[in-house]
Structure 1
Amino acid sequence: MPSAVSSSQGAVAALRLGRLAAMGTVAALILIAGVWGSWGTAQHVMLTKGREQGTIAVTRCGVDTCSGPFTPLSAGARARGNVVIEKTAAVKKGQTYTVIVKPGTDDVVRSGPAGVLYAWVPLGGALLLASVVVAGGLRLTRAAWVLAGAGVALLTAAFATM
């Protein structure tokens, strides 16, 4: 017959396992969401073969977007009178940026190192958030510091290149 001590140890072990499973799942979901949020833009910037590449001369800016004429740089790209780019702190009226056209649209995204790093900013935020879950929920402080360091490095590099 099991004693009260051995059954309470079993309950503590089950709770610990449940906490690890729950927090591990939360951390994994946060990281998956970060990759998912980044991939929508990153795929256009990183997989450039066959995509229209060129420059945008920003002539107008609204609340969320800026626009201007597109000048092609790659073979097969066509000039457009007006394309739209997301308005960020790094996009200013009167400036010219190298961009890639999203297929089937008149929307463009920044290209080059600045575009790649900016595309992965949601992952940088997810790494920071997941580090808190890993440190507090999983009690893996070294892994949490690695995640946080990677997130800070990614966000800092994106900020510096923009």
Structure 2
Amino acid sequence: MIPAMPATATSARRASVTALRFGRVSMAGAFAALILFAGVWGSWGTAQHVMLVKGRETGTVEVTRCAGDTCTGPFTPTSAGARPRARVEIAHSVAVRTGATYDVVLKPGSGDAVRSGPAGILYAWLPLGGALLLAAVVVAGGMRLVRPAWVLGLSGAVLLTAAFVALQ
């Protein structure tokens, strides 16, 4: 310390460094929480239909035609109260092929089908898997919490890998 400098300058500097560190950690934590919330929000739109199937129409769809981002086919019900339909739509993805039959749940009040079963659940939660990976980077870099970041990142990687394997 310089003899002419008062001792309060060092404590003021220490306080400002602490305040900046607190600000960085709190902003990174809020950003990571926002990312995770967005992942859950993005997943829940589909996951609610797949996970809460009580009272919904369940059955199978045989994909007969794919065009653009949707595939269509006849719906054969497997649940009580469901009625057969000549045409329902399912989202076209790499896991949906023409001529294949898939277990589905129909969204209430529409002809839109969502894959059901373990593959459908994992597929519905894919946005959360990506959010976990992104939040891991924010937690490691912004908050300097390496172990929780590894947990978040590995959880996201496991979810994405499990979905990939289940959909094949």
Deviation at 1:63, TM superposition (A): 1.4
Deviation at 1:2, TM superposition (A): 6.6
Which of residues 86, 105, 109 is equivalent to 1:100? 105
Residue 53 (structure 1) aligns with? 58
Aligned CA-pair RMSD: 0.9
d(CA) in 2 for partners of 1:62, 1:124: 28
d(CA) in 2 for partners of 1:17, 1:124: 28
Residue 124 (structure 2) aligns with? 119
Higher alpha-carbon Rg: 2
Give me the TM-score of the superposition, normalised by structure 2. Answer: 0.95
Residue 149 (structure 1) aligns with? 154
Residue 8 (structure 2) aligns with? 3
Structure 2 runs not aligned, ≥5 long: 1-5
What's the secondary structure of 1:131's corresponding residue?
A: helix
Give me the TM-score of the superposition, normalised by structure 1. Answer: 0.98
Which of residues 58, 71, 74 is equivalent to 1:69? 74
Residue 33 (structure 1) aligns with? 38
d(CA) in 2 for partners of 1:2, 1:18: 25
Deviation at 1:3, TM superposition (A): 1.3
Structure 1 segments, 4+ long, off by >4 Å, are none
User: Deviation string for 1:77-135 (max 9, x for gaps)?
Assistant: 01111000001111000100000000010000000000000000000000000000000
What's the secondary structure of 1:32's corresponding residue?
A: helix
Structure 1 runs not aligned, ≥5 long: none
Aligned length: 162
Residue 137 (structure 1) aligns with? 142
